[in-house]
């Protein structure tokens, strides 16, 4: 699989992620605030076709991500998923019956250009040895502790703070999901589908995926979407790339001026993502207020 096909699959994943985010956000707008991270919220969502539609598209996005990770590095694939917000912008505006502002288009253009520079500059080096079992266990426990702390503290918070804490947990969890996905694709390439099923890796991946999806839904429902969604999209590739370097030995093969240009591209991607997220989140907040009044 060539570099171009890896990028194509990653962008297809971003498109599906965008659709899934927009649809599932709107499926939770009329739910009471006290139902966050509760069986009542999930039971309600399971009865809504709109939520199932958004979740199905999100699963398709994950399949594209897995295809990209068969040969593509986490260093290349994961940052491209930030472009999900770029695709979510016009879709969300269309569903809400509003026009995309000039300011939003300018930030979208910056995100597009910075992503293009990132794809051209990011070249992963040859992978080093995978980490030892002890290092893997320590890193895994640290991630679990961080995610658990985010959930426990978030349940005692309200508004933006709750949304940000959930978003941090989601970003870390989906970053871990990406690393496990990369490992599962490696095992399947080496042992085949039957050999893969004899290992615990695919079952761990399924469990992590379910937990990540439910936690992400809680972050959508927590409010302050202008902070939660961008935080998720930015944290996921950062965590995935860091974990990939520590656990899988993936490294970035750039230096000098290319490294500076790459850092500037990442900075521009981050700024554009948060700016677009603030605009989308502010409008989503208005829709939530209208839905609450109608209820």
The tens digit of pLDDT for each residue in 205-238 reads: 999 988 888 888 877 776 545 567 777 878 888 8
Cβ contact 203:235 at 8 Å: no
Torsion of CA 192, 195, 198, 201, to 10 degrees: -40
> How much is the pLDDT for 177?
92
Mean pLDDT of 44-71: 89
Cβ contact 149:213 at 8 Å: no
pLDDT (tens digit, 9 = 90+) per residue, 257-266? 777 887 888 8
> How much is the pLDDT for 61?
92
What Cα–Cα distance (Å) separates residue 53 from each residue in 19, 46, 160, 238, 269? Answer: 10, 11, 27, 28, 29
If you average pLDDT over each of 25-39, 96-110, 219-233, which comes out highest? 96-110
> Which of the four pLDDT bands, split at 50, 70 and 90, describes residue 32?
low
Lowest mean pLDDT among 21-35, 98-112, 197-211: 21-35
Mean pLDDT of 62-79: 87
> How much is the pLDDT for 168?
87
User: Which SS3 state, helix, strand or coil, does residue 252 take?
Assistant: strand
The answer on pLDDT for 287 being more than 60 is no
The answer on pLDDT for 26 being more than 70 is yes
Other C-beta atoms closer than 10 Å to the C-beta of 44 total 17
Cβ contact 244:74 at 8 Å: yes
Name the percent of the chain lying above pLDDT 90: 13
Based on the number of CB atoms within 10 Å of its own CB, is 295 exposed (0-12), middle (13-18) or buried (19 or more)?
exposed
d(CA 183, CA 113): 31
Of 5, 74, 32, the C-alpha closest to 222 is 32
Provide CB contacts within 8 A for 131, sequence distance 6+: 139, 246, 247, 248, 249
d(CA 54, CA 143): 27
| Helix boundaries (H) for the chain | 3-27, 39-46, 49-71, 74-80, 84-96, 102-121, 133-154, 159-197, 201-221, 225-243, 256-294
pLDDT (tens digit, 9 = 90+) per residue, 153-203? 888 877 667 778 888 898 899 999 999 998 888 888 888 888 888 888 889
Give the tokens for residue 277. 């997220």
Cβ contact 119:112 at 8 Å: no
> How much is the pLDDT for 38?
62
Q: Between these two residues, 291 and 153, which has the higher pLDDT value?
A: 153
Torsion of CA 223, 166, 161, 108, to 10 degrees: -60
> How much is the pLDDT for 156?
81
d(CA 160, CA 164): 6
Give the tokens for residue 281. 């989140």
The answer on pLDDT for 70 being more than 60 is yes
């Amino acid at each position: 699989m060539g570099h171009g096909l890896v990028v194509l699959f990653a962008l297809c994943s971003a498109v599906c992620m965008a659709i899934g985010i927009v649809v599932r956000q709107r499926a939770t707008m009329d739910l009471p605030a006290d139902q966050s991270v509760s069986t009542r919220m999930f039971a309600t969502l399971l009865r809504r076709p709109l939520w199932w539609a958004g979740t199905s598209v999100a699963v398709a996005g994950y399949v594209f991500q897995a295809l990209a990770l068969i040969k593509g590095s986490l260093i290349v694939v994961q940052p491209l998923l930030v472009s999900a917000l770029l695709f979510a912008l016009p879709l969300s505006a269309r569903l809400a019956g509003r026009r995309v502002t000039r300011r939003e288009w300018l930030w979208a253009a910056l995100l597009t250009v910075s992503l293009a520079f990132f794809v051209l500059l990011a070249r992963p080096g040859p992978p080093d040895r995978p980490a030892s079992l002890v290092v893997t266990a320590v890193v895994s426990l640290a991630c679990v502790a961080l995610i658990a702390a985010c959930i426990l503290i978030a349940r005692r918070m309200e508004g933006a703070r709750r949304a940000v804490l959930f978003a941090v947990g989601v970003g870390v969890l989906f970053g871990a999901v990406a690393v496990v996905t990369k490992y599962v694709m490696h095992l399947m390439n080496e042992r085949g589908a039957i050999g893969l099923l004899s290992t615990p890796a695919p079952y761990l991946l399924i469990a992590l995926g379910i937990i990540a999806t439910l936690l992400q839904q809680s972050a959508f429902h927590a409010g302050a979407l202008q902070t939660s969604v961008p935080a998720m999209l930015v944290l996921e590739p950062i965590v995935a790339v860091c974990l990939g370097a520590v656990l899988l030995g993936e490294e970035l093969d750039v230096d000098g001026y290319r490294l500076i240009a790459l850092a500037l591209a990442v900075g521009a991607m981050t700024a554009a993502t948060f700016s677009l997220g603030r605009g989308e989140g502010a409008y989503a907040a208005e829709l939530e207020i209208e839905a609450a009044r109608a209820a």
